[in-house]
């Protein structure tokens, strides 16, 4: 059975380093990669009726934008390294959504950057990386 | 944007130049219209000495029928509604779409309005404590009506190519009747409803709200704003203008976020006030029950109390009007029934929880001191009941009332807009014209007195119940089939839980 590595990309430097490390490992072990970008979203937020009306349209454009401006440039930057790469964009809470994707795509491990967010934010809301490490059932590699 | 602002000021500057006596002039002009519309819509038949408006009977019979026909979906579906709102059945793959919680929260912000604070006081003043009992009964029955209309709203909504959706009674009336071979009639009903929701949006969802917000502000200011209705109206209209035309969504977003907290804050304080008056509570509760069946001191006795209770309940939770169906249609789901089930919670939160709490605050105050309100009515009466315990309470209450009014106006501006676009198409210019009219009515609402305003908006909103409920009867078998199939698939495990 081949390895599948799920890499969390968020457009930050930390995410880029995580991808770099994952690529090296994948080449060594002939694993395939799943690049994922999570759009932070909560089902419990409040909106005006007009916003709800436009939600579907917005969702599609958000997904499109994530592909165009974050995932695709990363893949292009990698160049042709003879790797099998899939991409996934999802809405949701980051740690939870990554876990769901890992389940769905039957990933065997997860790579994530250490510095994805500001210090203040992680002090108040807790770090996404820490949450993932705590709850994941798969090996998680945190790339500094 | 600048052009619009200019246009806006051109419409309103004449108002500001006139002295405060304008209030009176407009009042005198609207009163006869209100009386006439009221007489037509609330055509009354005498029943056992009480005057029963036919339209109220129409609503109650509808709600009772749907409760039985859907086999008490209002009770059966309750637990499932909470599971749906919690997201137990939402596929993580479809995250990012409008969630059940969001659709419900938006619809509730639209219905939790001044009716919950002031409308209950009106009911208790006119219909006695017993009206509260019937208000709750109407809320429970109204849950079934809501279920039917919201299921249909999703089922027959129209999805446009750019991804936005329009739904609501005008669409299900047109399509539903057409499916039954009555295309012409369906078209007529859809148009009738669209005209009604458009005018209703200017009344119940607009003038009534801004009027009560003004009254409340004036009470807090100790009458210092007497004759300045036009000024408050102008300011309110300006804020609404900046949101719905100026596209300053941040204001709306902030209100949408504050309103739920305000509602919780309101309920917590109401419960504290009730607890502080715990000695009067048993008497207040007993008044509600005895009043419901004896109707002591109420014109028309028990039936009189019942009529008032039902009337105010509909005015508050909008079951049977079809408005919520427009808001719920935005949900992305393959199962229209799920949205119907979720919408059950709306009359529950609005009428059964919030209205009952308000009624108990007023009821306990009345037991302790029958003259506590000093003749005050509407929101002012509720405010007086709170003031007995917390002298500072009118201030945050006024603020809450203002926000409730504002979020209701924003929601209704959307409902009215959907009526408008149904009639005149989706053109940008047309939509702007509608929004300008809407703002003008916000200002107008603060200028005229409560009496005629309440009559006009009450009447118009009840009028659109006629085509809506007629349509619900015709389409109920479709809803029933969908409902049975849906629950059978839940039972068999074909529809999976994700949590």
Q: Which of A47, A56, A92 sits opposite B92 (nearest CB)?
A: A92
From the candidates B89, B91, B95, which should be mutated to test the interface with A, based on the most A CB atoms within 10 A? B95
Instruction: Please count the residues of chain A.
Output: 144
Instruction: List, in sequence order, the alpha helices (H) in B223-248.
Output: 229-244
How much helix, strand and coil, in percent to the nearest 5, is found in chain A? 50, 20, 30
**To the nearest whole number, what is the mean pLDDT of chain B?**
85
Q: What is the largest CA-CA distance in chain A?
A: 52
| A119 touches B at CB < 8 Å | no
pLDDT in tens, B229-288: 888 889 999 988 888 887 666 676 777 677 778 888 889 999 999 999 899 999 999 999
The band of A119, judged by pLDDT with boundaries at 50, 70 and 90, is: low
Cβ under 8 Å to B: A residues 78-117? 90-92, 96-97, 100
φ/ψ (deg, to 5) at B319: -70, 125
Who wins on pLDDT, B499 or B87? B87
- The token pair that represents B203 in the structure block: 């009344």
- The token pair that represents B152 in the structure block: 């249909």
Across B131-155, b (16+ Cβ under 10 Å) vs e yields bbbbbbbbbbbbbbbbbbbbbbbbb
Residues of B with Cβ-Cβ distance to A39 under 8 angstroms: 96
The answer to whether the Cβ–Cβ distance between B103 and A51 falls below 8 Å is no
The answer to whether the Cβ–Cβ distance between A52 and B326 falls below 8 Å is no
**Residue ranges per structural domain of chain A:** 4-143
Nearest chain B residue (CA) to A50? B414
Give the mean pLDDT of A116-136: 71
pLDDT score, position B17: 44
- The token pair that represents B80 in the structure block: 């499932």
Cβ contact A43:B95 at 8 Å:
yes
pLDDT in tens, B350-366: 999 999 999 999 999 99
Between CA B201 and CA B411 the distance in angstroms is 9
* Reported CATH class of domain B2-491: mainly alpha
Distance of CA B342 to the CA centre of its chain: 17
Residues of A with Cβ-Cβ distance to B249 under 8 angstroms: 48, 51
Nearest chain B residue (CA) to A96? B92
pLDDT in tens, B14-67: 444 444 566 677 667 777 877 787 777 778 877 776 777 888 888 889 999 999
pLDDT in tens, B420-454: 999 998 888 998 999 999 999 898 888 876 566 66
Residue B70 clears pLDDT 90, i.e. is over it: yes
| A45 touches B at CB < 8 Å | yes
Close Cβ partners of B32 (under 8 Å, ≥ 6 residues apart):
none
pLDDT score, position A118: 61
Could you please state the CATH topology (level 3) that the domain comprising A4-143 is classified under.
Rossmann fold (3.40.50)
- The token pair that represents A119 in the structure block: 């210090």
Only one residue has tokens 């199939």, namely: B485
The answer to whether the Cβ–Cβ distance between A56 and B101 falls below 8 Å is no
The answer to whether the Cβ–Cβ distance between A43 and B102 falls below 8 Å is yes
Only one residue has tokens 């051109």, namely: B10
Who wins on pLDDT, A24 or A116? A24
Residues of A with Cβ-Cβ distance to B256 under 8 angstroms: 46-48
Least Cα separation, residue A62 to chain B (angstroms) = 9
**Residue ranges per structural domain of chain B:** 2-491
pLDDT in tens, B115-170: 788 888 988 888 888 999 999 999 999 999 999 999 999 999 988 887 778 899 99
Who wins on pLDDT, B213 or B275? B275
Residues of B with Cβ-Cβ distance to A47 under 8 angstroms: 98, 102, 105-106, 253, 256
Q: Count CB neighbours of B481 within 10 A.
A: 10
Cβ under 8 Å to B: A residues 53-82? 53-57, 59-60, 62-63
ipTM: 0.85
The answer to whether the Cβ–Cβ distance between A49 and B90 falls below 8 Å is no
CA angle B181, B167, B86 (to 5 degrees): 125
How much helix, strand and coil, in percent to the nearest 5, is found in chain B? 80, 5, 20
Residue B387 clears pLDDT 70, i.e. is over it: yes
On the 0-12 / 13-18 / 19+ scale of CB atoms within 10 A, B18 is exposed
- Among residues B406, B450, B495, the alpha carbon closest in space to that of B27 is found at B450
């Amino acid at each position: 059975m081949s390895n599948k590595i799920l890499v969390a990309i968020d457009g930050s430097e930390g995410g880029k380093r995580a991808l770099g490390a994952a690529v090296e490992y994948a080449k060594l072990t002939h694993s395939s990669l799943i690049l994922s970008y999570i759009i932070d979203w909560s089902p419990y937020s409040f909106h005006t009726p007009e916003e709800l009306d436009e939600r579907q349209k917005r969702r599609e454009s958000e997904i499109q934008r994530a592909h165009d401006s974050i995932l695709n440039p990363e893949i292009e930057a990698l160049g042709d390294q003879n790797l099998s790469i899939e991409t996934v964009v999802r809405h949701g809470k980051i740690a939870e959504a990554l876990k769901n994707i890992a389940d769905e795509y039957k990933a065997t491990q997860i790579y994530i950057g250490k510095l994805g967010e500001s210090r203040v934010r992680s002090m108040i809301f807790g770090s996404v990386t820490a949450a993932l490490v705590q709850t994941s059932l798969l090996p998680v590699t945190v790339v500094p | 944007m600048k052009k619009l602002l200019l246009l806006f000021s051109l419409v309103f500057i004449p108002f500001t130049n006139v002295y405060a006596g304008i209030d009176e002039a407009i009042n005198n002009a609207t009163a006869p219209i209100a009386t006439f519309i009221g007489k037509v819509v609330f055509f009354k038949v005498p029943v056992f000495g009480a005057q029963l408006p036919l339209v109220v009977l129409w609503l109650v019979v509808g709600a009772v029928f749907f409760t039985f026909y859907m086999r008490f979906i209002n009770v059966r579906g309750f637990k499932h509604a909470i599971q749906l709102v919690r997201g137990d059945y939402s596929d993580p793959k479809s995250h990012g779409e409008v969630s059940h919680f969001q659709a419900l929260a938006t619809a509730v912000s639209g219905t939790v309005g001044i009716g919950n604070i002031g409308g209950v006081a009106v009911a208790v003043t006119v219909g006695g404590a017993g009206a509260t009992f019937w208000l709750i009964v109407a809320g429970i029955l109204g849950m079934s009506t809501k279920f039917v209309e919201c299921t249909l709203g999703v089922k027959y909504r129209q999805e446009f190519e750019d991804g936005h959706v329009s739904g609501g009674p005008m669409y299900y009336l047109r399509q539903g009747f057409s499916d039954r071979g009555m295309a012409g009639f369906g078209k007529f009903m859809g148009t009738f409803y669209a005209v009604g929701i458009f005018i209703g949006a200017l009344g119940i969802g607009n003038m009534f709200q801004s009027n009560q917000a003004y009254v409340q502000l004036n009470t807090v200011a100790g009458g210092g704003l007497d004759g300045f209705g036009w000024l408050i109206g102008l300011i309110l209209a300006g804020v609404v203008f900046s949101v719905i035309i100026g596209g300053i969504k941040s204001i709306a977003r902030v209100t949408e976020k504050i309103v739920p907290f305000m509602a919780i804050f309101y309920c917590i304080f109401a419960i504290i006030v009730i607890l502080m008056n715990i000695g009067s509570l048993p008497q207040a509760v007993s008044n509600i029950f005895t009043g419901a069946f004896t109707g002591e001191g109420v014109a028309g006795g028990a039936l009189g109390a019942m009529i008032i209770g039902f009337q105010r309940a509909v005015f508050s939770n909008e079951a049977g009007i079809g408005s919520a169906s427009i808001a719920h249609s935005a949900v992305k789901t393959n199962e229209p029934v799920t949205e119907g089930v979720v919408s059950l919670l709306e009359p529950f939160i609005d009428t059964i929880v919030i209205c009952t709490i308000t009624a108990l605050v007023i009821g306990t105050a009345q037991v302790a001191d029958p003259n506590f309100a000093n003749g005050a009515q509407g929101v002012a009466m509720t405010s007086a009941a709170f003031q007995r315990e917390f002298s500072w309470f009118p201030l945050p209450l006024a603020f809450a009332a203002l926000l409730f009014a504002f979020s209701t106006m924003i929601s209704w501006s959307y409902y009215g807009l959907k009526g408008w676009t149904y009639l005149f198409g989706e053109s940008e210019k047309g939509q702007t014209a509608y929004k300008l009219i809407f703002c003008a009515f916000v200002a107008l609402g603060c200028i005229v007195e409560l009496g005629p305003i309440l009559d006009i908006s009450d009447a118009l909103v009840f009028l659109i119940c006629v085509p809506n409920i007629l349509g619900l009867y015709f389409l109920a078998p479709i809803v029933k089939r969908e409902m049975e199939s849906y629950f059978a698939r839940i039972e068999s495990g074909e529809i999976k839980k994700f949590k």
